[in-house]
Structure 1
């Protein structure tokens, strides 16, 4: 894995989390337990801390970055899907951020939020707990359904098992 010290800050990854060798973690990054950080993910904590909770998946080509003097916090059991861009967001537990979504400055996602794929969350938007947002710019479309909650839980379980499998069986071939 590509871990880089920056300004005296060193990324922390517990032994039960998997960071792919093609992912990059810079500076004040703290990863929780049983997380999977996929190929191409970039987590830059050069201007402020990035704290990721337990059982999260940060999928392929996701970018997480911090504005100077700010922070990114991600709660437990969160899915950050492929090619998501997060800049200065606070994402609470059990959220799903859909593929290709963009979360701009000072966004807050309360618990159990779903962001539909391709959505643009504008500066300062606060999404209440249990809401689905969609669009460019994103608007609240409905309450999160029981099916969405089941899908989110299944995704967390799937990536948690995948994390264990990567740790146990992945080998680079020359």
Structure 2
């Protein structure tokens, strides 16, 4: 797994976290216990700190970057495939849908679903237990039905999948 120090700051990865061999972490990145960072992900913390909390999963080809300060992905949160998370806060057990964008200073509440392809604009606040849709994400509805099931179960699915990858993935010659 490519880990790079930048100006004396280096990634810190808990031994029980899974970092895919093609993920890249640069600078002041903290990955806590049970978190997973998947294939092709880039997390660059050259100006501030990025914290991936316990049990969170950052899925394939997503990018996380921070300005000065902190960008945090909460405990058991999911950042789906091909997302851009830039200098914001993602709450506990939130789910950022595939291809979504969350921008500077935005706060996504706990147990919130940002729909696939949505854009949470700079400084926006998405309340807990809701679904944010659109680009920009202006339609906010209560978390219920299928969306609630995704939020309820996604972290557990990825905890198990990360364990399986950590135990058996190997490079093929």
Structure 1 portions without partners, runs of 5+? none
Structure 1 residue 49 displacement after superposition: 0.1
Conserved 8 A contact 1:56-1:78? yes
Q: SS at 1:150's partner residue?
A: helix
Number of equivalences = 173
In the other structure, the counterpart of 1:63 is 63
Q: Tell me whether 1:16 sits opposite 2:9 in the alignment.
A: no
Q: Spell out, residue by residue over 1:77-119, the C-alpha distance to the aligned partner (whole angstroms, 9 max, x if none).
A: 1010000001111111010000101111110011111100000
In the other structure, the counterpart of 2:131 is 132
Matches within 5 A, 1:112-127: 112-127=111-126
Q: SS at 2:12's partner residue?
A: coil
RMSD between aligned alpha carbons? 1.1
Aligned equivalents of 2:149, 2:137: Cα separation in 1: 23
Aligned equivalents of 1:141, 1:127: Cα separation in 2: 8
Conserved 8 A contact 2:24-2:43? yes
Q: SS at 1:172's partner residue?
A: coil
Aligned equivalents of 2:38, 2:158: Cα separation in 1: 10
Superposition TM-score, scaled by structure 2 size: 0.96
Superposition TM-score, scaled by structure 1 size: 0.95
Structure 1 residue 130 displacement after superposition: 1.1
Using the TM superposition, name which of 123-132 and 41-50 deviates more: 123-132
In the other structure, the counterpart of 1:81 is 80
